[in-house]
Amino acid sequence: MAPRGRNGAAAMAVAVASVVVAWLAGGGGGVVAAAAVGGGGCASSDRLEALPGQPAVAFAQYAGYVAVNEASGRALFYWLTEAAGDASMKPLVLWLNGGPGCSSIAYGASEEIGPFRIKTNGTGLYLNKYSWNREANLLFLESPAGVGFSYSNTTSDLKTSGDERTAQDALKFLVSWMSRFPQYRHRDFYIAGESYAGHYVPQLARKIVEFNKASPNPFINLKGILVGNGVTDNYYDNIGTVTYWWTHAMISDATYKAIMSSCNFTSANVSRLCNRAMSYAMNHEFGDIDQYSIYTPSCAAAAANVNATATATAGGRHRRRRRGKAVLRFKDTFIRRRSFGYDPCTETYAEKYYNRPDVQEAMHANTTGIPYRWTACSDVLIKTWRDSEFSMLPTYRLLMKAGLRVWVFSGDTDSVVPVTATRFALSHLGLKTKIRWYPWYSARQVGGWSEVYEGLTFASVRGAGHEVPLFQPRRAFRMFQSFLAGEPLPKS
């Protein structure tokens, strides 16, 4: 179905990921090699004094590259913003955005949970009042190679990316990065992300669990994962998504029935009838809406209101038209909070800012002269993604069995990976309920609804789109505080 494939077409084929124990067979040579390659340099050389146009801050920042494959020349770019206070006492949180092929710096760091926001037209930065670095040290990773400033010297790598290699390279990154930053070894560590990071986050967590089991002295102290509006299970996600469209009056009864009767959501192959029904819904019934936030203005409408250009649509907003078909991707919405409302055309701000030579120099980025501009999302990776696991539910079971804290949340105005899809998928875990469905509160208002199960907590965030911390920053921050504390969301 349309929003579930690499180009928003059919769900991708099932891929069975190899376990890290096998990868480490023969004495752990893979990790040793990664540490030897990526461990070069020291933290002090990665220290970032200040970004151009950045307001003064007291916390430390670091940015740079960690090599993850010497033979191919793959290196991943990171940006660490330490906690605003008592950094040495606070946990480390790795944030991953999805796509596949979208930048955690463009979205997570610059629109959602990071300490800075980008001013109009990329002229500078301003502070995010609800940055998650108030509670944790934040590590943003552009992954896999080919995303943002991350690169490979082997061009074919950009056309052969997939779930398995992404998780494996991310583990190699962490092992090497913690050699460069030994103060974070054994520190409480969490992985968070959204959208297609619904694959990245649990897959990396699984790699770490297996790595720790195979290591005589494990040092990655993984405590839990936090996944928002995440791609979870192709079959259940698809049914839940079409149901959301119908229950939110986005499609007609006739189209709903046509999709449900003609689409086989267990197969990666899309029938002619299914494709016709999906195309009709997206091209004729949705209208010009932002599918990542169905109640806020689309880019063209907002552009007229804020005197902005519509160039973001050419840069690949929420829906593109290619050969007469609508194309969705699991990226993060381009809508960003402004003092006078939402501006859904802000992808160009990030692309202008991070393509500035002075910004790249300050961030220690693009040191090898990447032969293409920095972009928020890589269309090459999105179109050529190789392997994608059909379901994350078995991995969730494994992580819960390992004793990890598992939280899943959903903004309730996203129609791409909607709350109905996530709830439908999670319901098939068959978990025992500990705390029944209840409204949770933030600033004396209902922040959303939650249910706590044995081993997993689910929460919706009221009035939030695909990028929950963007649309509801205060509610998202309150949720993050409860997650770190391991406490249910407040009932009053």
Active site residues: 195, 414, 466
Cis peptide before 100 (omega within 30 of 0): yes
Q: Which residues partner with 118 through β-bridges? A: 125
In whole angstroms, what is the distance from residue 341 CA to residue 309 CA?
17
Q: Which two tokens stand for residue 468?
A: 């929950």
Q: What are phi and psi of 60, to 5 degrees?
A: -85, 150
Residue 287, number of CB atoms within 10 A of its CB: 9
What is the chain's Cα-based Rg? Answer: 21
Residue 323, number of CB atoms within 10 A of its CB: 5
Q: What are phi and psi of 403, to 5 degrees?
A: 85, 15
The set of residues, in sequence order, having a beta carbon less than 8 Å from that of 3 and lying 6+ positions away, is 241, 291, 328, 330, 416, 417
In whole angstroms, what is the distance from residue 320 CA to residue 266 CA?
26
Residue 87 amino acid letter: A
Write the burial class of residue 333 (CB in 10 Å: 0-12 exposed, 13-18 middle, 19+ buried): buried
DSSP alpha helix (H) spans, 181-285:
197-214, 234-247, 253-262, 272-280
Residue 83, number of CB atoms within 10 A of its CB: 23
Residue 86 amino acid letter: D
Q: What are phi and psi of 197, to 5 degrees?
A: -65, -5
In whole angstroms, what is the distance from residue 358 CA to residue 195 CA?
31
In whole angstroms, what is the distance from residue 448 CA to residue 463 CA?
8
Residue 184 amino acid letter: Y
Say if CB 137 and CB 80 are below 8 A apart: yes
Q: Which two tokens stand for residue 134?
A: 């108030």
